[in-house]
Structure 1
């Protein structure tokens, strides 16, 4: 989903991981009692079943990408097969690694621009609705997106 907004959005909740990417402007994201000011160069990972709202400061453009939890856990396993005994163990550690319901990533400069280009390509492929022909192209773009975000993710300290 991509769109410009001028008024508060929410409350929203999804049963998957939501990635919010600010493309232009700034918004205040509210998760529980916490307020997160986010702007261009920020991406936010929001945990499944987390209620959140956001309100633009002026006009803002965001892209929201929804990704299945099991898919992301599999990707985390395959990224670190030397750390996890099997892919089912990853679920036990994910909550400890990322205890906050909203994880704000600071993705500035070249990575922020790359992120927007990848999201634009994903949106175009999705809107064409050429299934199953576009499936692997979407899969490749999702891998590019995760590869761009991964260096900016910081796990909670022990």
Structure 2
């Protein structure tokens, strides 16, 4: 649900309804909680964050590439990263929206299944395999809603700009919420639509706040995912989305927390690691398959991101 674009009530005396400003402290927080009152149509928007929208009051029609669904009090909308969707309120809709940085979510999966996965790339794949549905809508009864409400309220308060960032308290509250929610989330080992795609999970931790993805950023990212081995430059990628290189770099960093070429590097490392784990091709062949002609450069970048050389990675992966 794209409630951050909603018309939030202008009540300065009510901190729960204030929009999140781009403060330094909040940009560094992988957990955001916002309370929104939606009174007008929100056009389809995507975020590079996992979102949980808890409906408190009102009703609306939620629409995405997977169809339409009426939302009512007690509903929970779960959206995977990069899922495009919009909302049309019937009159008004009040909701608490949790935003979780995808790298943070992958870290949680990694530690939860530490005995079954090799590294964060493996955890990312596990997450993509079992939580493949990019949109889910659950419904909770009054009792469950009453149990979640005070925790959601405190999370929203912790995310106010005037508050000191209390990460561990926010994480504890989030764990209590997810302890109730996650048993109800549907899991699957099959992909339902072509849009159920992976989002990069490697590289530097993103120190940013959730913002809507501009269409040019989404198209550029999809273009890179479709052809990671292509000899991309910022100039020819910008030409694909009809922006200047400087404009593309700015909107892409705002959307994904890294430059287009850094994003491409992550994609290549992921695919190279997959080749090393699932085939017998040489390191040099794997590097060329993903777009790097230099074996030594590919090995250096691979080790910078995963902490081990390609050969060592293959050895470790073979033990699991």
- TM-score (structure 2 length as normaliser): 0.45
Q: Over the residues paired in the alignment, what is the CA RMSD in angstroms?
A: 2.1
* Gap runs ≥5 in structure 2: 1-33, 191-320
Hey, what does 2:85 align to over in structure 1?
52
**Which one has a larger percent strand, Structure 1 or Structure 2?**
1
Shift, 1:15, TM fit: 0.8
| Match for residue 98 of structure 1 among 127, 131, 134 | 131
Give 3-state SS (helix, strand or coil) of 2:160's partner: helix
Between 51-60 and 107-116, report the one with greater CA deviation: 107-116
Hey, what does 1:142 align to over in structure 2?
174
Q: Matches of residues 1-150 of structure 1 in structure 2 within 5 Å?
A: 1-127=34-160, 129-132=162-165, 134-150=166-182
Residues of 1 paired with 2:160 and 2:132: CA distance?
34
Q: Which aligned runs of 4 or more in structure 1 are off by greater than 4 angstroms?
A: none
Query: Number of residue pairs matched?
Result: 157
Give 3-state SS (helix, strand or coil) of 1:61's partner: strand
User: Using CA pairs below 8 Å that are at least 6 residues apart, which structure has the higher relative contact order?
Assistant: 1
Residues of 2 paired with 1:3 and 1:88: CA distance?
34
Hey, what does 1:152 align to over in structure 2?
184
User: Which string of whole-angstrom CA distances, capped at 9 and with x for unpartnered residues, describes residues 22-52 of structure 1?
Assistant: 1112221111151122222211111111111
Q: Which structure has the bigger radius of gyration? A: 2
Q: Is the 8 A contact 1:20 1:45 kept in 2?
A: yes
- TM-score (structure 1 length as normaliser): 0.85
* Gap runs ≥5 in structure 1: none
